[in-house]
Chain A
Amino acid sequence: MSSLKIVGESPERIDGLEKITGAATYVDDIDFGARLLHAEIVETPYAHALIKSIDTSAAEKVPGVVRVITGKDFPYRFGLYMQDRFSFPTDRVRFVGEQVAAVVAHDAKTAKRAAKLVKVVYEELEPVLDLTKALRDDAVLVHPDLGNYTRCPWFFPQAGTNIAHWRKTRKGDIEKGFKEADVILEDIYTVPRYSHCAIEPHVIVGLYDLSGRLTLWSASQSPYTQRHVLAQALAPLGLSHKDIRVVTPYVGGGFGGKAGVSMEIIGAALAITVKGQPVKVRWSRAQEFYNTYQRQGVIARIKLGAKKDGTITAIEHTLHWDAGAYVEYGANVVNAVGLSATGPYRIPNVKIDSVCVYTNLPPSGPYRGFGYSEFHFGLESHMNRMAHKLGMDPVEFRRKNAIREGDTLAYGAKMNPSGLHEAIDRVAAEIGWGKKEVSKDPNKVIGKGFACFWKAPALPPNAASAAFMKFNEDGSLNISVSGMEIGQGFLTVMAQIAAEILTVPMERIRVELPDTDRNAYEWQTVGSHVTWGCGNAVKAAALELRGKMFEVVERALGIARDTLYLEDEKVKCRTRADFELPLQNFVINGIQTSHGNFIGGPILGSGVFMPEFTSALSDPETSQGGHPNVHYTVGAAAVTLEIDKKTGKMRVLKATLAVDAGKAINPGLVKGQIVGGIVQGLATVLYEDIRYDLKGKLVNANFTDYKIPTSMDVPDEIVPIIVEVAQPDGPFGARGTGEHTMIPAAAMVANAVEDAIGLRMKIMPITAEKVALELQGISYEDVKGSYMGLCFAGHPDAYKFHTKASTKK
């Protein structure tokens, strides 16, 4: 095999020109003409209440109103992994802002005015806003019908409780492990909720045409999954998959927030009730915060045991997740963490309990990192503290315990090839680990923090990818896949993979955005898996195309196919130096023989990838026996942080992150993921600070009060590092990197804060305000006032994990 030509290079993005000229079309940019209807949602002001009555008569009388829809019109449940969510609830509301009705009108202003006239009578119930109370035997139940919900076989909801899922992983002998330890360290870490804040809000346009076809134009990471979930939900109406079409143009940022189905069910419901007319539902920024998904909050207790020489002997990791009102996707986040909360370390004795708890806060779901960002905050903080307790250097302690290929994972499968040690060493060198830095300003101190990370895609075992490919008359190429370009550069990477095999230059390849009527299948674009999964499908399709071309040449010209190869868009022959046939000469019209007839015809290809080695079937009490994760991507990161001792203000002087990409198909795009991911991760620890009032209402659902970074808030320097230890089943050895770059940020900052000022912050975020207060000896938790950032009363250190529910076998 000759050396690679385009894989491993960083060409211009193939979607670059569209995005830089404004030509790129997003859902809200598509024109639907004068018949387009607009919707306004009637939302509940209560976190938990029974719906006693809904009176829509006044709203229906407003001129310009077409329909008012409630749960009576559309009483369907839906969900990706568990059907616990409602298009419109019929009997009870479960979080502030939940939709109870929608007004559809000819224009948005009328819809808005009429929505205010819908009268809903509620009977308020006690909201479940405290995990401790949620887990009590006499708890108020968020879902009294939990036991009846359809779910995937690897979820274990406990009927009659608020526990939606409980992933238990057991390996080795945990008691023996702690007995062998010379040092045991136990503590509690807390992570609040976060919001994705893609700049494009969710938007969907639905058209249920007069022939009974439902087409949805959706800002989504998951066209096929949306079609499937909606087909399940709408089956009572007689709709099946072929009757539903999901079209997804460019998406203005996803980060997991546009995975699965959230508000899109409303678009589908409204479209069906106003048959023949397109209807648009576009979320406001506030709705974007409280009625799609949030990243769930978690309180975690970690007990870690190690020998004097630094060998970790045991970990007990208990996590209670505030998963919100609906967990049809969020419970899988909890599941993923329950399998992997050891972090990237070889630990012989493991006990993990990851408990998904319903609360009356907004629904939770996937967010870049899928639970790993959350648990790494505690784990990587704890690793530092354990190192100090052992008198070891924190980097050396990590290196000593870092996982290697072939090690047994917590659930019994073997670790894939891993460049973790290389990542640790290169990050330590880049940050100048061990070299103390001193600020020129006497009021400022500088600290350094280090963290490792790992993450596996959390996929069902049959999450497949597929690709179609066809040539055009001029030898240019169209690739049809259904992975989503959410900014990561997916289209470009797919083009590079095809270009490498077919020798067609990048500028002569189009990769089409998904339309479930014509594009090949993709489960969804989540879990940083499409470079790997869909990349394999595209590679397979390209190889099929190549094989078909060689076959045609052999049949038409009598040249043995195994002597043929491709170079510069030509078929060439190893045994006949004078032979070359440009692709454009035959990929549509075939090859003319000496008899005048033509052999061949349009060259088409397809490719499929299925991770056939995975299985979600395992013992529910131990998680042993399955192979739930395809592979882990690993890495390390570090930060140099300057802290103003008076104001608490922190400035990131330098951040560096190494990720094992297996093979970076496009190193420039991987670096883009590193820089973007670090900044997004730093935001969760330094700036973003979600607040609820004591009745469960989100009070900072906007960018004025929920601060995401601006260009003024970025680190002075970010150094991306790419490690390449090939993934044997990846295209050219590639594995995913997109989410991973966010994961270590919070812990590395916490570790740098301790290094700089000696304070261990165990509650995210670590804002300037908190640091300033703590430096004056004031506990932020004591003065934070009458709002909730965390889903339990009192100080986290007093949180009782030993509820009956979580100790029961």
Chain B
Amino acid sequence: MTKRITVILNNETRSLDVEPNDILLNVLRETLGVKSPKIGCERGDCGACTVLLDGKTVRTCLILAVEVDGHEITTLEGLSQSGLTPVQQSLLKHNSFQCGFCAPGMVLSATELLGKNPSPSQDEVKEAISGNLCRCTGYEPVIDAIVAVGKKAGKRV
């Protein structure tokens, strides 16, 4: 028994059939071919599968595909469609990532934060990315890069 759902994925309308028990993460990766959300723990602990659902970060390993019918999903692929965003540029400049596996989720969490709070404090940044586990960097270069975006934005205001 399948159900037809329609999602707006990275500004494109996509319709597809899913099983009621299909996990959104698997549907994104296997059916829709979007690979930036990663499989890290499959129980909502690591944040590697983070995407923006109607602009808010969610863990796609904890969501059924049928739940997102009619909603809008942005993955890292969608974020860079018209060039790197300021937070991507800053993360790149700071050499923030090592293995890079947590990067897609981390970038989206940072994007959500900066959308709500253009000049976050270091503590606000730490809190915003606390659901994205990174085993390589010790977080410091990631935090610094996100704070730097905020400082730059703050100066422009």
Contact = CB atoms under 8 A, between A and B. Distances in A.
Interface stretch (A59-67, A247-255, A344-352, A394-402): A247-255
Contacts of B93: 12
B133 interface: yes
A16 B77 CA distance: 15
A285 B42 contact: yes
Given A199-B101, A487-B98, A704-B43, 15 more contacts: A20-B91, A21-B76, A22-B77, A22-B80, A22-B104, A285-B43, A486-B99, A488-B98, A675-B140, A676-B137, A677-B138, A710-B131, A711-B129, A711-B130, A711-B142
Interface in B36-94: 36, 38-43, 45-46, 48, 75-77, 80, 84, 88, 91-93
A40 to B, nearest CB: 14
Contacts of B154: none
Interface string B126-157: 11011111111111111100000000000000
25 contacts: A10-B95, A20-B97, A21-B80, A22-B35, A22-B36, A22-B77, A25-B35, A197-B135, A198-B99, A200-B40, A253-B99, A253-B101, A487-B98, A672-B98, A676-B98, A680-B135, A680-B138, A702-B43, A703-B45, A704-B45, A709-B139, A710-B133, A710-B139, A711-B134, A718-B140
Contact of B99 (A201, A250, A718): A250
Contacts of B139: 679, 709-711, 714
Given A712-B130, A718-B138, A12 B41 contact: no
B9 interface: no
Nearest to A712: B130
A441 interface: no
Of A15, A255, A285, A711, chain B has the most CB atoms within 10 Å of the CB of A711
B99 A285 contact: no
* Closest A-B pairs by Cβ, 3 of them: A252-B101, A487-B98, A19-B100
B114 interface: no
A254 B101 CA distance: 11
B24 interface: no
A20 B92 contact: yes
A675 B76 contact: no
B3 to A, nearest CB: 16
A676 B136 contact: yes
Contact of B100 (A18, A711, A712, A718): A18
A168 interface: no
Contacts of A702: 41, 43, 45
A285 B61 CA distance: 13
A20 B88 contact: yes
A251 B98 CA distance: 10
Contact of B130 (A26, A197, A282, A710): A710
Contacts of B135: 196-199, 253, 255, 680, 708
**How many of chain A's residues touch chain B, expressed as a range?**
35 or more
Given A703-B45, A712-B130, A200 B101 contact: yes
Interface of A: 10, 12-13, 15-22, 24-26, 28-29, 31, 196-201, 250-255, 282, 284-285, 486-489, 668-669, 672, 675-680, 702-704, 708-712, 714, 718
Contacts of A26: 38, 101
B99 A487 contact: yes
Given A676-B137, A679-B138, A714-B139, A489 B107 contact: no
A285 B76 contact: no
Contacts of B38: 26, 28, 199-200, 252
Interface string B21-40: 00000000100010110111
A109 to B, nearest CB: 8
Q: Which of A18, A197, A672, A679 has the most CB of B within 10 A?
A: A672
A20 B85 CA distance: 10
A285 B95 contact: no
Given A20-B107, A680-B138, A702-B45, A712 B40 contact: no
Nearest to A676: B138
B62 to A, nearest CB: 13
A703 B59 CA distance: 15
A17 B100 contact: no
Given A200-B40, A702-B43, A29 B35 contact: yes
B45 A252 contact: no
Contact of A24 (B75, B100, B131): B100
B42 A714 contact: no
B19 to A, nearest CB: 8
Contact of A19 (B29, B35, B97, B140): B97
Contacts of A31: 33
A669 B142 contact: no
A522 B23 CA distance: 39
Nearest to A11: B95
A579 B132 CA distance: 56
Given A199-B40, A708-B133, A714 B84 contact: no
B95 A672 contact: yes
A284 B100 CA distance: 19
Nearest to A716: B122
Nearest to B105: A199
Contacts of A708: 133, 135
Contacts of A198: 99, 101, 135
Nearest to B123: A712
A207 B143 CA distance: 41
A489 B80 contact: no
B11 to A, nearest CB: 15
Nearest to A682: B138
B99 A675 contact: no
Contacts of A24: 100, 103
Contacts of B76: 21-22
B117 to A, nearest CB: 16
A678 B127 CA distance: 21
Name the residue among A16, A26, A489 with the largest chain B CB count within 10 angstroms: A16
A745 to B, nearest CB: 11
A282 B39 contact: yes
A198 B92 CA distance: 21
Contacts of B134: 199, 711
B112 to A, nearest CB: 15
Given A16-B95, A20-B88, A675 B101 contact: no
